[in-house]
C-alpha cells in the first residue's frame, strides 16, 4: 500500500542517522537488584552500553537512574546481579580500582587545590611521572579551553569553567567509562546549550563510552546515541532519540517526552507492523505494537505533537475554539478547546511569521503528518 511504503520510506530515512553499532559491550548491567530498606529501587535490571556510545538514562526523580550511576561507579553495591566493565566483573571491585571518570552535578572540585592540582589528582594517584603529568594537564586544559587558569582556585572560576575543569579532571585519566550525573543542571540556559555541544564534541573526538543521567528530556534527545527511558526502576524504552520522540512505546513515555495532545480516534485496520486509525475522515498510520489485541472499530487515543497540527484555513479534521496563546519566540503555542476531538486542550504549534489566531476565535485544525502514535483508549 502506498501508505505503508511511505511509512517505511520515512523510517528508512531516519534510520541512517544511527551508524552501524559494533557489538563491543563496554558496560554491562546484569539482572541488578537494589533495595533501600523496604523500597526496591531496581529489580532484575539489565542494560548493555556499547563502546564509544553516548547512553542517556532518562527519567523522573526517584526512578533509579542515579542509583544505576552510583552502582556503575561503585559508590553503591547491588543486592543482586553483576556489573561488568570491559568484560570484567567489577561488582566487588572498589571504586578507586574501576577506572571510571565521573562528573557530579555540583562538580565536586577540590576547593583547597588549584585547577592544575585538581586535574592532576587522578594522575598522581596512579603514580604517573611528573613530566608526563605536566604534559597531560596542558593537553587536557587546551582541549577544554582552560589554558591560563592553572593556578586559580575553583571559587575563582565561573560555573562554566568549573564544569570544564571537572570534565578535564575526569577525562585526563583516560577512563573506561565516563559518568555524567546531571552535570548541566547548575548552568543557565545559554551556557547549558553551548556546554552540551562542547561535551558532545569532545566525547565524539575521544570516543569515550559515556553514561549520562538526566531528567531533562530535551537534553537527552539532543545529546544521546541511545536513550533508556526509566520509570520506577524499569526500562520502558531503549532506543535512539528520534525513535523515542516519534514512537514512544507507551503513553507515559509519550507524555514525558516533549509535548503533545491526545485526540479521540478509531482503529481502522491493524496488522503485524502498522495500524491505521481514523480521526474524522483523516487516516493516520501508527505503530501496531501498542494496539495489539484491539479490533477494527475500537476507540483509541491518538497522540500528536504540536508541530504535527496546523490551524487550517479550509476545513480541518476537527473544529474548536482558541482558549490561550503562548509566545515562545520562534513559534507560538496555541491552545484549543475541541470537545468533539479531545478531552483536554489541544496544543498547536504556529511557526514564526504565520498568522496567529486570537483568543476566542473558532478554528479548524488539520493533522499535517500521516504518522503518529496511538494507544488503547483510556478515560
Residue 104 contacts other proteins per CB under 8 A: yes
- Nearest to other proteins of 98, 321 (CB atom): 98
Among 122, 160, 290, 320, binds other proteins (CB under 8 A): 122
Site for other proteins in 79-98 (CB under 8 A): 92, 94-98
Q: Which of 35, 126, 135, 145 binds other proteins (CB under 8 A)?
A: 126
Residue 192, interface with other proteins (CB under 8 A)?
no
Question: How many whole angstroms separate alpha carbon 228 and alpha carbon 216?
Answer: 13
- CB nearer other proteins, residue 101 or residue 316: 101
Report which of 5, 9, 4 is spatially closest to residue 288, judged by C-alpha positions: 4
For residues 92 and 272, which CB has a smaller minimum distance to other proteins in the complex?
92
Which window, 101-109, 206-214, 226-234, 280-288, contacts other proteins (CB under 8 A)? 101-109
Q: What is the DSSP string of 310-322?
A: EEESS--SEEEEE
Tell me how far apart the alpha carbons of residues 42 and 87 are, in angstroms, rounded to a whole number: 22
Inter-residue contact 137 to 47 (CB < 8 Å):
no
| Binding residues for other proteins restricted to 162-191, rule: CB under 8 A | 169-170, 173, 179
Count of residues of this chain found to bind other proteins when the rule CB under 8 A is applied: 30
Identified binder of other proteins from the candidate list 3, 106, 147, 326, rule CB under 8 A: 106
CA–CA separation, 61 vs 271, rounded Å?
37
Among positions 11, 51, 52, 121, the unique one binding other proteins when judged by CB under 8 A: 121
**Which CB sits closer to other proteins, 17 or 125?**
125
Q: Write out the binding residues for other proteins, residues 10-29 only, by CB under 8 A.
A: none
Establish if 125 lies at the interface with other proteins (CB under 8 A).
Answer: yes
**Contact yes or no for 186/155 (Cβ under 8 A):** no
Angle CA(50)–CA(53)–CA(59) in degrees, nearest 5?
Answer: 95
111 binds other proteins (CB under 8 A): yes
Q: Which is nearer to other proteins, 81 or 316 (CB)?
A: 81
> Which residue has cell 587522578?
122
Exactly one of 11, 25, 40, 76 binds other proteins (CB under 8 A); that residue is 76
Shortest spacing between CB 178 and other proteins, in angstroms: 10
Q: E strands within the chain?
A: 25-36, 39-50, 54-58, 80-85, 88-89, 100-103, 177-181, 209-214, 226-231, 234-239, 261-270, 274-279, 282-287, 299-304, 309-312, 318-327, 331-337, 346-351, 362-367, 373-376
Nearer to other proteins, 32 or 294 (CB): 32
Q: What SS3 class is residue 188?
A: coil
Residue 101 engages other proteins in binding (rule: CB under 8 A): yes
d(CA 209, CA 3): 39
Which residues does residue 227 pair with via DSSP β-bridges, in sequence order? 56, 239
52 backbone φψ class: left, alpha, beta (φ>0; ψ -120 to 50): left
Using DSSP's 3-state secondary structure scheme, residue 67 falls into helix
- Is 337 a binding residue for other proteins by CB under 8 A? The answer is no
- Least distance to other proteins from the beta carbon of 250, Å? 33
Beta carbon nearer to other proteins, 34 or 236: 34
Residue 49 in contact with other proteins, rule: CB under 8 A: no
Give the footprint of other proteins on this chain (CB under 8 A).
70, 73-77, 92, 94-102, 104, 106, 108, 110-112, 121-122, 125-126, 169-170, 173, 179
Amino acid at each position: 500500500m502506498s501508505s505503508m511504503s511511505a511509512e517505511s520510506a520515512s523510517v528508512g530515512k531516519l534510520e541512517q542517522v544511527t551508524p552501524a553499532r559494533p557489538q563491543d559491550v563496554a558496560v554491562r548491567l546484569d539482572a541488578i537488584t537494589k533495595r533501600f530498606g523496604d523500597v526496591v529501587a531496581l529489580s532484575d535490571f539489565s542494560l548493555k552500553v556499547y563502546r564509544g556510545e553516548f547512553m542517556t538514562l532518562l527519567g523522573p526523580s526517584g526512578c533509579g537512574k542515579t542509583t544505576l550511576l552510583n552502582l556503575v561507579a561503585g559508590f553503591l553495591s547491588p543486592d543482586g546481579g553483576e556489573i561488568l566493565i570491559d568484560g570484567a566483573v567489577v561488582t566487588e571491585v572498589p571504586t578507586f580500582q574501576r577506572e571510571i571518570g565521573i562528573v557530579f552535578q555540583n562538580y565536586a572540585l577540590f576547593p583547597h587545590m588549584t585547577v592544575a592540582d585538581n586535574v592532576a589528582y587522578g594522575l598522581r594517584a596512579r603514580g604517573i611521572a611528573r613530566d608526563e603529568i605536566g604534559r597531560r594537564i596542558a593537553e587536557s586544559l587546551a582541549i577544554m579551553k582552560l589554558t591560563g587558569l592553572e593556578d586559580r582556585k575553583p571559587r575563582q572560576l565561573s560555573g562554566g569553567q568549573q564544569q570544564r575543569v571537572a570534565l578535564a579532571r575526569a577525562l585526563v585519566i583516560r577512563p573506561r567509562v565516563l559518568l555524567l550525573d546531571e552535570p548541566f543542571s547548575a548552568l543557565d540556559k545559554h551556557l547549558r546549550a553551548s556546554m552540551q555541544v562542547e561535551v558532545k564534541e569532545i566525547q565524539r573526538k575521544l570516543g569515550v563510552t559515556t553514561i549520562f543521567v538526566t531528567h531533562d528530556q530535551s537534553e537527552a534527545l539532543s545529546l544521546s546515541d541511545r536513550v533508556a527511558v526509566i520509570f520506577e526502576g524499569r526500562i520502558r524504552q531503549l532506543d535512539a532519540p528520534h525513535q523515542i520522540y516519534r514512537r514512544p512505546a507507551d503513553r507515559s513515555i509519550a507524555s514525558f517526552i516533549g509535548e503533545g495532545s491526545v485526540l479521540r480516534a478509531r482503529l481502522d485496520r491493524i496488522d503485524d507492523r502498522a495500524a491505521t486509525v481514523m480521526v474524522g475522515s483523516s487516516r493516520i498510520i501508527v505503530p501496531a505494537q501498542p494496539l495489539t489485541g484491539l479490533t477494527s472499530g475500537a476507540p483509541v487515543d491518538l497522540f500528536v505533537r504540536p508541530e504535527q497540527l496546523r490551524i487550517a484555513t479550509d476545513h480541518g479534521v476537527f473544529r474548536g475554539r482558541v482558549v490561550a496563546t503562548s509566545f515562545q519566540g520562534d513559534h507560538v503555542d496555541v491552545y484549543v478547546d475541541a470537545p468533539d476531538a479531545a478531552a483536554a486542550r489541544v496544543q498547536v504549534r504556529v511557526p514564526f511569521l504565520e498568522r496567529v489566531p486570537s483568543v476566542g476565535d473558532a478554528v479548524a485544525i488539520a493533522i499535517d503528518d500521516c504518522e503518529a502514535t496511538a494507544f488503547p483508549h483510556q478515560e
